[in-house]
Structure 1
C-alpha cells in the first residue's frame, strides 16, 4: 500500500497538490496506479487506484463527466500530467474534483508517469522488505520465547510489543491459557470453545464486546485452541493479520508440547490406578508414583471418580484436564487419570470427611460450567489412611460413580456408604470369593451369548434396571414382551435362577453388581 502523502513527499516526482480532497484523503491507502485516457474508465479502474491521465479524453467528455466516472469507480484520486499543449491543469477539472471531493495532483511535463509507477513499486518493495524483516525478527522472538518456556503468555508478550491488540488464547475445552489486554468470563470462554468445535471452526465470533477474530491453533492436525483477537477481521490491517497468523503457528508448538506433557502425565496416572487395583505386589510402586505427582503416600488419601450421567460411551476429551485444573486451583495435591468410563482423582486429604463431599459438589459445578448440557456426577470412596489401603476406596468411588451415571435424578455427588445396603455388605466379603460367585453364575449366559450372538446378559441387566417391569424392559430393548419372556426363560434354564422368584433375582442382581465392581 502507498498514499498520496508518500508520493508528495518524494521530491523527485515534483508533484503539486491542487485538491486535497476530504480530511484524511492524503493518508488513505492506495493499491496501485492506473494510466487511462478513456472518457469513462469506470469498468477498468479498481477501487482505491490512483488514476493518471493527460486529459486526451477532453474531446469526448467534459471534466465533470470524467471525474464523475472516476469517482464512481471509487478511485483514490487523479494525477493530471501536463504536456506541451496543456501547460496548466484545466480549471474545470480542478472545480469538478473539488465538488466531487476527489484529490487532484499535478505532474510537470518533464516527469513521465512511469516515474510514479517506479516510485510506487519502490514503496511496495520497501514495505514488503520491512514486513519480511519484521516477520523474521518476530519469528526469532517467538522461537526464543517458546524455547525458554515462556509459554502462551510469552507469545502474547512478543505480539503486543509491536501491535496494540486485545488478545487471549483459549483451548477447545474453554480453558483460558493466556491473556494480554483482554478478559473473557466463563460464558465467553464457552462461546469460543463452541466455535472451535464447529466443522470447519469459526473464524469470527460475536462476544459481549462485539465481533472477535479467531486464529485456530492446531497441534497434530486438529484444532486444539485459538488465538482470539477481540476485534473484527475487517478492523485488522494486513500487517496485524500476518502477525496473528505467525503467532498462531508458534502457539501450535506450545500446545503440542503441553499435550505431550499431559499425555505422559495421564498415562503415568492411569498406570497408577492399575497398580492400586493389582493389589499388594505393587504397593511400593504406588507410593513412589504418588510422590512423583506431589501427593503424600503416607498420609490420608481420598478418591473421587467423575463421569457424565446417562452416557455409556468414552469420557469426553478434556474432562481429565478440567478436573486436574480444579484441584490445582483449590490447592489440593492430586493425581488425575482419565479412564474409558470415568475420570479418577486421588487426593491428599487431611480434612473432615464431610468436607470432601462439599469439594466434590464444587467440582461438579465447575465441570458443569465447562461442559454445558451434560450432567456430571461424582462418586466418593472411603478415606484411605495411606497408599497401601487405596484399592478399596478406589473401587468404592468408581462403583458410586457408576450408580450415579445410571440414575435418572437425585444428587450429583454420593459416597459409597450412601449407596444401597447390598454394596456395603459386599464390601465386607473377600473380593476373590465375590468374583468367583459372579463369574460362575454368569458364565453360562455369557457362553450362550458368545456362541449364539445373543443378548441374554444385556436383557437381564435391563430387566433389573427397570425394577422387573416387563413392558418397560421390552420398550427399552425395542423387543416384544413375548421375546423378553422367552429370553428370561432361557436365562433361568442356564443359571437355575428364575427372575420371578425374589431370592433368585437377588442372586442375579448381586452377580451383576459384583461384576461391575471388579
Structure 2
C-alpha cells in the first residue's frame, strides 16, 4: 500500500509537507498520481489520486476554487511543483488547503513530476510482486495443510501467520468447525447459520457485541455449506487481507466437501446396519462386522437409543451429526444413523444400565443447544449382550421415542418400560385421531367451562392425577369435598361417563392424555 507518507520518506523525490490535512490523511493509500493545470480538474481526478500541479491555473481561478474542486474529487492531496517563476508555494494555496483540510506537499524544482510517477510505479510493482509471491507461498502452505489432514484448523493457522485476524469456520448447521482468535457463542453461531440459510447468503453479518463480521462462503456453486468468518467489517479489511481470506475459503471448500463425503458414507453404512438388524435372517450375520467398523464391540454389552424432536414427525438435517459428535466427545463408540422419523444410535455400553438415563439427558441437552427452540427426546431400548438382542432393543427404543414425541410437556428421556401402555397405544395414532378422541369426550366440559368460567376439566384432571382420592383431590384444588362431588357429578352429566366406573374412568383418562398429545 503506497501512502503519502511513504512518498515523503523517499529522499530522492525531495518532497516537503506544507499542510498535513486531517488526522491520518498522510497514512491513507494513494491510488495513483494525476498531473493537471485545469482550473477545475474534479471531473478527471479519481478518488485517492495525488494531484500534481505547477499552479498555471492561478490566472483563471483562485486557489480556494482549485482546492475545492480537488476536495470534491476526494483526491489524496496536492503536490505543488516549484519552478523558477514560482520558487515558493503560494501562501494563498497553503491557506486554502488548511481551510479545506487537504494535504499539500511541495516538490523541488530540480525534481520533475515523472519522478513521482516512476516511484509510484516501482512501489506498486514491488507490492504486487510481493502479493503474488505471498499468494503462491500461502497456496502451497494451504495445500500442504489440507493434504496432511490438518483440516479447517490448519487452514486458519496458515492464514494467521500473515494476518492477525480473528477467524472461525462455521457450517450451515451452526457448528463451529475451527476457531483461531475468535470467540463465537451459541447465539452468534446460530446467527451465522441463519445467514447461510438465506438466498443469497449475506457477505457481512451483525453479530451484536462482536460487531460486524465478514463472511467468505465455503461450498459448492449455488450452495453455502459453511463460512469463513472474520470478526472484522469488510470495510476494515485491506485488499491483501481480503485476497488471503478469499483464497483460504476456496481451500476450505475442499476440506468441507471431504468431510461431507465422509459423513455421507458413514450415514449410509450405519443405515445399512439398521436394515441388517431389523431384517434378521442371513443379513444378521453381517452385523458384528459392521459394528466393529464403527469401533463397537459386537460381543460386549450393547445399547440402542432413538432420538427425535418432540412435536415433529421427521428428523431434522444435522441431527445425526450432532448426536455423532456427542458420542465422540463422550468417548462412547457408536454407529449413528438418521432415519425418516428419528436418529438411531447403536453403541457399546460398559456402564451400569442406570447410567443410561443420565448420559441420555446430557445428549438431549447438547442437541437442544445446537437446535434452539426444539425439544429433543430420547427413547432407550435397554442394554443387551451381543447382537442377538439388538432387534428387540431397537424396536423398544423407537417405540419409546415415538411416544415421547407426542407428550408435550413431558420427560425428555424414557425407557420402553417407563412409557406406559396407554402412551404407546396413543402414540400409534395420528394427530387428527387424537384430536377427535379428545374432542368427543372433553368438548362438553370445555364448552361449559368457557361459557360459565368453570373448572370441570381441571377438576377431572386433578381427580385422576390423585388416583381417585376425594380428600387428596379436594385439598389440591383448595375446595370442599362436597364441591368436588358436585363438579364430578356435572362431568358425568355432560359426558355420560361416571368416574366411579373403571371403564368410564379409562375413557376420561385417555381423552385427557390424547388432548395433551394431539
- TM-score, normalised relative to structure 1: 0.79
Matched position secondary structure for 2:382: coil
Separation in structure 2 between the aligned mates of residue 97 and residue 464 of structure 1, nearest angstrom: 83
Question: Cα distance, 1:419 vs. partner?
Answer: 2.7
Number of aligned pairs? 443
1:46-85 alignment runs, 5 A limit = 46-85=46-85
Question: Cα distance, 1:461 vs. partner?
Answer: 5.1
Question: Cα distance, 1:77 vs. partner?
Answer: 1.2
Alignment correspondent of 2:249: 248
Give CA-to-partner distance per residue, 1:394-425, whole Å, 9 cap, x none: 01111121222233432222211123337999
* CA separation of 1:206 and 1:463: change in aligned 2, threshold 3 A: closer
Alignment correspondent of 2:434: 465
Give CA-to-partner distance per residue, 1:140-169, whole Å, 9 cap, x none: 100010011111111011000000111111
Question: Cα distance, 1:225 vs. partner?
Answer: 1.2
Matched, 1:322 2:291: no
Alignment correspondent of 1:498: none
* CA separation of 1:472 and 1:175: change in aligned 2, threshold 3 A: farther
Question: Cα distance, 1:27 vs. partner?
Answer: 2.3
Question: Cα distance, 1:243 vs. partner?
Answer: 0.6
Question: Cα distance, 1:379 vs. partner?
Answer: 1.2
Separation in structure 2 between the aligned mates of residue 424 and residue 16 of structure 1, nearest angstrom: 88
Contact 1:280-1:388 at 8 Å conserved across structures? no
* CA separation of 1:470 and 1:423: change in aligned 2, threshold 3 A: closer
Question: Cα distance, 1:179 vs. partner?
Answer: 1.1
Separation in structure 2 between the aligned mates of residue 270 and residue 423 of structure 1, nearest angstrom: 28
- TM-score, normalised relative to structure 2: 0.79
Matched position secondary structure for 1:384: strand
Alignment correspondent of 1:170: 170
Alignment correspondent of 1:491: none
Alignment correspondent of 2:240: 239
* CA separation of 1:293 and 1:151: change in aligned 2, threshold 3 A: same
1:102-501 alignment runs, 5 A limit = 102-207=102-207, 208-219=209-220, 221-313=222-314, 315-421=315-421, 464-466=433-435, 468=437
Question: Cα distance, 1:306 vs. partner?
Answer: 1.0
User: For the aligned residues, what is the CA RMSD?
Assistant: 2.8
Give CA-to-partner distance per residue, 1:107-128, whole Å, 9 cap, x none: 3445443343333233222222
Separation in structure 2 between the aligned mates of residue 423 and residue 288 of structure 1, nearest angstrom: 36
Question: Cα distance, 1:67 vs. partner?
Answer: 2.2
Matched position secondary structure for 2:184: coil
Contact 1:304-1:379 at 8 Å conserved across structures? yes
Give CA-to-partner distance per residue, 1:282-320, whole Å, 9 cap, x none: 33321111111111111111111111222234x221111
Matched position secondary structure for 1:328: helix
Alignment correspondent of 2:482: none
Contact 1:334-1:347 at 8 Å conserved across structures? yes
Contact 2:403-2:423 at 8 Å conserved across structures? no
Matched position secondary structure for 1:400: helix
User: After the TM superposition, which of the residue ranges 167-176 and 461-470 deviates more from structure 2?
Assistant: 461-470
Give CA-to-partner distance per residue, 1:329-368, whole Å, 9 cap, x none: 1221111111122110012112232221222122112111
Separation in structure 2 between the aligned mates of residue 157 and residue 463 of structure 1, nearest angstrom: 55
* CA separation of 1:385 and 1:83: change in aligned 2, threshold 3 A: same
Separation in structure 2 between the aligned mates of residue 169 and residue 307 of structure 1, nearest angstrom: 27
User: After the TM superposition, which of the residue ranges 401-410 and 142-151 deviates more from structure 2?
Assistant: 401-410
Separation in structure 1 between the aligned mates of residue 306 and residue 31 of structure 2, nearest angstrom: 61
Question: Cα distance, 1:373 vs. partner?
Answer: 2.1
User: After the TM superposition, which of the residue ranges 272-281 and 401-410 deviates more from structure 2?
Assistant: 401-410
Give CA-to-partner distance per residue, 1:438-491, whole Å, 9 cap, x none: xxxxxxxxxxxxxxxxxxxx9x85664346357699xxxxxxxxxxxxxxxxxx
User: After the TM superposition, which of the residue ranges 214-223 and 297-306 deviates more from structure 2?
Assistant: 214-223
Question: Cα distance, 1:328 vs. partner?
Answer: 1.3
* CA separation of 1:408 and 1:284: change in aligned 2, threshold 3 A: same
Question: Cα distance, 1:325 vs. partner?
Answer: 0.7
Separation in structure 2 between the aligned mates of residue 132 and residue 115 of structure 1, nearest angstrom: 26
Separation in structure 1 between the aligned mates of residue 222 and residue 254 of structure 2, nearest angstrom: 12
Contact 1:463-1:470 at 8 Å conserved across structures? no
Separation in structure 1 between the aligned mates of residue 220 and residue 397 of structure 2, nearest angstrom: 34
Matched position secondary structure for 2:227: strand
Separation in structure 1 between the aligned mates of residue 273 and residue 142 of structure 2, nearest angstrom: 37
Separation in structure 1 between the aligned mates of residue 72 and residue 430 of structure 2, nearest angstrom: 76
Matched position secondary structure for 1:353: coil
Alignment correspondent of 1:479: none
Structure 2: segments with no counterpart, 5+ residues: 443-502, 508-518
Separation in structure 2 between the aligned mates of residue 25 and residue 463 of structure 1, nearest angstrom: 71
Separation in structure 2 between the aligned mates of residue 95 and residue 206 of structure 1, nearest angstrom: 43
